[in-house]
A and B are shown apart, each in its own frame.
Chain A
C-alpha cells in the first residue's frame, strides 16, 4: 500500500488540477467550438449547421474593423512598449543614485487597473477638457489634439494609454535581464576598450533573447485580451471605430443575444493567440530537448 502511495502520490496530487484544467479550459474550448457551428441565438443550441457563423463573421464590416484594429494596436503597442521599455531599462542601468525611486515611478502605472488608466486618459485626451483645451488656454488657439473623437485616429489613443501602462513593466523585465548578464564578460569587454554601445549591441542584448521573447508573449496576449481599456477609454467609439475582437465578442454574446456569432469570433481570437503562442512553445520545447 505504502509503495503504491509512494509511486502514485504525484499523480494523485496533480489529478484535481489536471481534471479542472481539462474541463474548464479544454472542455469549454470544445463547447465554444461546437456552439460556433450552430445557429445559437439567445441560448445555446446544439444542432450543427456548418460554418454559417464564420461566413457571417467575415462578411461583417464591424468584425473587419475589429480585426484591423487588433493588428494596428497589437503591432504598435508591442513594438513601442518594448523599445521604450528597453531604453528606460538601459538608462536606469547606469548605476544612478535614485534608481530605486525611479524604478518605482516607472513601474507604478502597471499597478493601476486598465479601467483607471482608460478613464484618466479619457479625460486627458478629451478635447473639451484635457490637453487641447489647456494648450488653447495658453494662447495657442489653433492647437488641435482631438484623436479621441476622430474615428480615424481614436485607435491610436488606445495605443498611447496601453503603452503608458505597460512600458514600465517591460522596463522592469529588461532591467532584470540586463542585471543577469554575466558581469565578467562585460568587464572583459571594457578592458579590451570596446565602447559601451558596442557592449550593449554585441554582448548584452543578444544574451537577453529569452527575455525579449517573454516580453513579446506577455504584451501580445495583453493586446489580444484588451477589453477594459477600450471600454473605459472610448467605449468602442466613435461609432465602432475602436472595436477590438474582445469587445465585438462581448457585444454579440451579452448585448445582442447572438451566441453563435460570439462563439465564432472567440474561436478566431483563439486561433490568433495560437498563431503566436505555438511557435513560442515549439521553440521553448526544442531548446529543452537539446
Chain B
C-alpha cells in the first residue's frame, strides 16, 4: 500500500513537472560579504519554498566590477544568466544591447506601478516595459555622528552647511577630527553629491547630475559647492588617503571623529558593533532638501526555455514581494523599495529614511545618486568623480574645478 502511495505521489509530481515547467533561475550577483550573503540566502530559501531551483553565481568584488566582467563574457557567448544584479542606467545600457527580457506581465499582475515610488520605478523600465525588479533603497545623503562627542561639545545635528562648518570649527578647536573620511574616489564623490544637493537644491542637482546641463555645471552655485568641498578637506584628518569607509565609521564609533557622511550601509557597522541609534550614534539627512537613493535591483535577461522563464517570473514576483522586502532590508540596513511594507521591525533611522522617501517622492526631490551609479552612465559619472577627487586631493581653485568639470563631462560624451 505504502509503495503504491509513493508511486502515485511520484507519478503526480512527474505529471506536475510536465504540465508546467519547474522554475529555474541562475542568479549572478556580488553580494558576497557577511550581511549581504545572509540577505541573498533569504531569497534563495523563498525561491526554493516556491518550488524553484536556484543556481547561485556569486562573483566577489564589492563594486561589482568583476561581476560585470563575468556578465559581459556570458552575454558575448550567448548564454546570459537568468537574472543579474544591476542598477541604475546600466540596466538601460544593457537593454540597448538587446539582451534584457520583458517582465511586464509580472509587474502588472503585482501592481508594481502602485507600490513603488515613481522615480524608482522609472529605473526598472526599458522603453515602457518592465525589465528589472528593485530590491531595496539605500539612502546616500546621510550624516552619522557620535552622540557623546556632540553632547560633550554642545553641538546639535547640523541642518545647514554653515551650521556644519561652525560645529566642525568648534570640534577642531577641541582637538577632535570633525569629519571621518576615507580617501577613495567614490567616497569623495559621496560627500560631493551630498554637498551639491544641499547647495544646488533638488532642481539644481537634477540639472547638473541627471541632465548634465552645462550652465549648471559651470554656475556660481557649483563654485560654491567646490568651496564647501575645500572646507570639508580641512575637516578631515591628514591620514585619510586610501582608508576604507568602514574604518572611517569606526573612528566615529570610537569618538576619534564626530561626523561621517556615508550611505546607510554605515548603519550596519554601528549596529554590528552593538551601538544603538539615537543613543550611541545619531543619524540625519545631510543639510538641505532632498533624498539621494541607491537602489539595488535584479535585471532579467533574455533566456530560452519555459523553466527558465518561469524562474524569472517567480524571482521577480518574490523580489518585490512584501515578505522578502522586509526580511532582506532588515538584514541589509536599507529600506524596502515598496512603500506599503510595515516598518515596525525597523529602527528609527530606517523609519526616518522611509518617511523622507515618501515625502520627497511627492515633492519631486527624490533623486538618483550619481556617486553610486544611479544617475549617469559609467563614463560620465567617472569623469565627474575624477574631477571631484582631483580637486579634493590638491589645492585646485573652485574656478579651475568648475572648468575642468565642464570639460570632463563634454569629453565623456
Contact = CB atoms under 8 A, between A and B. Distances in A.
Interface of A: 41-43, 56, 59-62, 122, 126-128, 146, 148-149, 151, 154, 234-241, 251-252, 254-258, 261
B183 interface: yes
Interface of B: 63, 65-66, 68-69, 72, 75-76, 90, 93-94, 97, 183-185, 188, 238-242, 377-379, 381-382, 386, 389-390, 392-394, 404, 407-408, 411-412
B68 A239 contact: no
B93 A149 contact: no
Contacts of A59: 407, 411
Nearest to A241: B393
30 contacts: A42-B72, A43-B72, A43-B75, A56-B411, A56-B412, A60-B408, A61-B386, A62-B386, A122-B242, A126-B239, A127-B239, A149-B240, A151-B393, A237-B184, A238-B183, A238-B389, A239-B185, A239-B188, A239-B389, A251-B382, A254-B65, A255-B63, A255-B65, A255-B378, A256-B378, A257-B90, A257-B377, A257-B379, A258-B378, A261-B379
Nearest to A149: B241
A237 B97 contact: no
A251 B386 CA distance: 11
Contacts of B382: 251-252, 255-256, 258
A34 to B, nearest CB: 15
Contacts of A148: 241-242
Contacts of B411: 56, 59-60
Nearest to A243: B386
B93 A257 contact: yes
Contact of A258 (B69, B239, B379): B379
Given A43-B75, A256-B379, A240 B239 contact: no
B390 A61 contact: yes
A251 B238 CA distance: 26
Contact of A240 (B65, B68, B94, B185): B185
Contact of B377 (A41, A151, A235): A41
A237 B242 CA distance: 7
B77 to A, nearest CB: 12
> From DSSP, what is the main secondary structure of chain A's interface residues?
loop
A256 B411 CA distance: 14
By Cβ-Cβ distance, the 8 closest A-B pairs, closest first, are A239-B393, A256-B378, A149-B241, A257-B378, A238-B393, A128-B239, A239-B389, A256-B382
A128 B238 CA distance: 9
B407 A238 contact: no
A130 B281 CA distance: 31
Give the residue among A128, A235, A252, A257 with the most B Cβ atoms within 10 A: A257
Given A234-B242, A254-B69, 4 more contacts: A42-B90, A149-B242, A237-B389, A254-B66
Contacts of A252: 382
B261 to A, nearest CB: 18
Nearest to A133: B239
A239 B407 contact: no
B90 A146 contact: no
Contacts of B408: 60-61
A224 to B, nearest CB: 22
Give the residue among B94, B183, B392 with the most A Cβ atoms within 10 A: B183
A239 B392 contact: yes
Nearest to A127: B239
A231 B90 CA distance: 25
B108 to A, nearest CB: 28
A255 B240 CA distance: 23
B143 to A, nearest CB: 23
B407 A237 contact: no
A238 B182 CA distance: 10
A61 B69 CA distance: 26
Nearest to B76: A43
Nearest to B89: A257
A240 B242 contact: no
A252 B411 CA distance: 14
A240 B241 contact: no
